[in-house]
Amino acid sequence: MILGIIIVALFVLCGILAGQHIIIPYSSYQYVAVAILACLDSVFGALAASTGKKFNMKIFLSGFFFNAIFSMFLVYLGQLLNVEIYLAAVIVFGGRILNNFSIIRRDIMDKAQAQRRKIRKQNIALVAISTNPPTDTSNGAAVINPITIKTTRYNRFIPTNLPHLPAIASLALALISFALGII
């Protein structure tokens, strides 16, 4: 966990430093903006795939670089034809990013609701057991207090099924901090 936080912090720092020290000509802003959106689309697509346990590193890496290069080619083609094709890329990538966010949000909310149902069933079962205490307490068995069961058995939902989260999050944060650094 600490290693993941260190990796994320290093990528954010690299993104901020790169964004402050790299000078991008005004004529290249459209290329960089569309490439960053394409990369963010790949990152959030990987997060959405990871929540569904369909993540594949080869697909992620190929999509990360191919989407960025192809989107920059579309911007170049649009400039040659004097058509603002980059707007189409911005709309498509923006829509895909929002779609991936909704997939991630739905998955986390479904898992949180399932976890709450499971805890509620455990609490009901434990309260039912504790409200019918054993009549023979001579063997040293203690009577269970249902209030302490409810407060000690309830825990909050924390998504732990994202094994690639530190790497993917650090890429996303590095891209965002790079974009903010060049503004």
Structure confidence by residue, pLDDT tens digits, 147-161: 444 444 444 444 444
> Can you give the pLDDT at residue 11?
75
> Can you give the pLDDT at residue 43?
86
Q: Do residues 4 and 166 lie in contact, with contact meaning Cβ atoms separated by under 8 Å?
A: yes
pLDDT digits (tens, 9 = 90+) for 89-148: 889 998 999 999 888 888 888 888 888 888 877 777 665 555 555 555 555 555 554 444
Calculate mean pLDDT across residues 56-76.
90
Who contacts 39 (Cβ-Cβ below 8 Å, separation ≥6)? 64, 67, 68, 171, 175
* 13: pLDDT strictly greater than 50: yes
Average pLDDT across the chain, whole number? 75
Lowest mean pLDDT among 35-39, 155-159, 177-181: 155-159
Q: CA-CA distances (angstroms) from residue 166 to 107, 108, 139, 150?
A: 18, 17, 51, 33
* 82: pLDDT strictly greater than 80: yes
Calculate mean pLDDT across residues 45-51.
86
Calculate mean pLDDT across residues 80-96.
89
Percentage, residues of the chain above pLDDT 70: 66
Cα distance from N-terminal residue to C-terminal residue, the chain = 32
> Can you give the pLDDT at residue 7?
73
Quickly count: other Cβ atoms within 10 Å of residue 85's Cβ: 19
Lowest mean pLDDT among 55-59, 71-75, 82-86, 136-140: 136-140
> Can you give the pLDDT at residue 69?
92
Q: CA-CA distances (angstroms) from residue 165 to 157, 170, 173?
A: 17, 8, 12
Calculate mean pLDDT across residues 35-44.
89
Res. 165 pLDDT band, cuts 50 70 90:
low
> Can you give the pLDDT at residue 117?
85
